[in-house]
Amino acid sequence: MDRTELARRIFADDTFATQQTGIKIDTVDSDSCICSLAVDARHRNAKGAVMGGVLFTLADFAFAVAANSEALSPEQNTEEPLLEWVSSSSTIHFINAVKGDVLSASASCIKKGRLQALYQITITDNRGTKVALITTTGTRVQKK
């Protein structure tokens, strides 16, 4: 099973992101990933715009997948990968309104240390509009 398929299996348990919101994992590589979301009525506010919380959820989920991607490596040979990176703070910049009907979040590592990591997530729509830029600091939680 490759890293992307393993990520889809493991993160299926993240029911808010995957089932309630509808986020999909497109590709996973070492310390990076792309996740997408088909926008529908449940993602819109009273004015018809995509809610900021939807964009934040997409970014937060992309961070989680990317930051934990090393544990999802097929070479790890573990039945249940240890997901040990969690977000400890995020800053989101809403750049433009969503114009398309599919969002894509590209998460990549800027720097990763033993206990902290910094990721950048860029959200664009399928019309090429850059919608949001997010920086997330991650913290490695203690193994149990």
Q: Which residue has the higher pLDDT, 30 or 78?
A: 30
Q: Given a cut of 90, is residue 60 above it in pLDDT?
A: yes
pLDDT (0 to 100) of residue 77: 54
Each residue's pLDDT tens digit, 88-104: 999 999 999 999 999 99
CB 23 within 8 A of CB 37: yes
Torsion of CA 107, 110, 111, 112, to 10 degrees: 10
The pairing of beta strand 130-140 with beta strand 85-94: antiparallel
Domain that holds residue 36: 3-140
Task: Tell me the C-alpha distance between 26 and 87, whole Å.
Answer: 21
pLDDT computed for residue 100 by the predictor: 97
Look up the CATH number of the domain holding residue 116. 3.10.129.10
Structural domain count of the chain: 1
Instruction: Please say if the pLDDT value at position 144 is more than 90.
Output: no
Residue at token pair 């900021």? 52
Percent of the chain with pLDDT over 70: 93
Q: What is the per-residue pLDDT across 6-23, written as a single tens digit (0 to 9) for each?
A: 999 999 999 999 999 999
76, pLDDT greater than 90: no
- For residue 71, the model assigns a pLDDT of 84
Task: Enter the tokens of residue 144.
Answer: 């149990």
Average pLDDT over the chain, rounded to an integer = 93
Give the span between the Cα atoms of 81 and 78, in whole angstroms.
6
What is the predicted pLDDT for the residue at 75?
67
79, burial (CB in 10 Å: exposed 0-12, middle 13-18, buried 19+): exposed
Look up the pTM and report it. 0.93
